[in-house]
């Protein structure tokens, strides 16, 4: 009941304002829309029409800005959900790895890598599943794929050095350790690794 009264009061107020504007502006005004097109209207009608056109244009801009913000919010929430799903998949894969269920862990890590090829952690852990099964060459192949885009990743280089050493490829192990030393010249672990090779 109270909302109806409020609406009625707003309508009465608007009617009163429009009537008052008509009362104060009884003159005629000519609105030119082009060289040959013009309208002669009461001044009050021109003022009210101009006001409502301004309100309409403002409402259109507000609507467009609202739609844009809604789309951006939807994109952010979609990315957030994808990141959550990604982390849950990695957690499940790490759980399988901890249980030494290597085929299941490898399948999950491959799924993570197919969704996000830049995920170095997943690639390292995928290589670890191969290493734990004794397939050192396959593990090294996974790391080499990752190093195409991540040439200066220390974790990849150190693991590649270790795998190359396991394969008896001391030159490649030395090269990997040397690259780590270029990235981090004062790192004692890298220095020891280089001396060992």
Please name the residues in contact with 141: beta carbons below 8 A apart, sequence gap of 6 or more. none
More confident residue, 64 or 113: 64
Residue 64 to residues 50, 51, 57, 70, 71, Cα–Cα distance (Å): 21, 20, 11, 10, 11
Instruction: Tell me what the mean pLDDT of segment 23-35 comes to.
Output: 71
Each residue's pLDDT tens digit, 171-182: 777 777 778 777
Each residue's pLDDT tens digit, 90-111: 888 888 888 888 888 888 888 8
pLDDT score recorded for residue 23? 64
Residue 48: pLDDT above 60?
yes
| Mutual angle of helices 43-98 and 102-115, in 10-degree steps | 150
Binned at pLDDT 50, 70 and 90, residue 86 comes out as: confident
Instruction: Tell me what the mean pLDDT of segment 171-194 comes to.
Output: 72
pLDDT score recorded for residue 179? 80
- Dihedral of the CA atoms 115, 119, 121, 126 (nearest 10)? 50
Please name the residues in contact with 55: beta carbons below 8 A apart, sequence gap of 6 or more. none
Q: Is the pTM of this model over 0.75?
A: no
pLDDT score recorded for residue 114? 85
Each residue's pLDDT tens digit, 49-67: 777 888 889 989 999 999 9
Each residue's pLDDT tens digit, 125-164: 888 888 888 888 888 888 888 777 776 777 777 788 788 8
Instruction: Tell me what the mean pLDDT of segment 26-35 comes to.
Output: 72
């Amino acid at each position: 009941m109270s909302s109806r009264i409020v609406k009625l009061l707003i309508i009465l107020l608007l009617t009163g304002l429009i009537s008052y504007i008509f009362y104060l502006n009884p003159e005629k005004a000519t609105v030119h829309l082009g060289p040959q097109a013009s309208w002669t209207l009461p001044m009050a009608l021109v003022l009210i029409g101009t006001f409502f056109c301004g309100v309409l244009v403002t409402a259109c801009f507000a609507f467009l800005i609202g739609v844009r913000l809604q789309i951006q919010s939807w994109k952010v929430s979609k990315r957030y959900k994808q990141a959550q799903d990604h982390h849950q998949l990695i957690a499940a894969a790490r759980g399988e790895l901890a249980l030494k269920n290597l085929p299941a862990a490898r399948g999950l890590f491959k799924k993570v890598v197919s969704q996000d090829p830049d995920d170095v952690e997943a690639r390292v852990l995928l290589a670890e599943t191969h290493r734990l099964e004794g397939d050192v060459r396959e593990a090294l192949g996974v790391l080499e794929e990752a190093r195409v885009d991540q040439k200066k990743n220390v974790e990849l280089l150190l693991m590649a050095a270790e795998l190359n050493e396991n394969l008896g490829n001391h030159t490649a192990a030395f090269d990997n350790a040397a690259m780590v030393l270029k990235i981090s010249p004062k790192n004692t672990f890298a220095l020891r690794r280089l001396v060992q090779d």
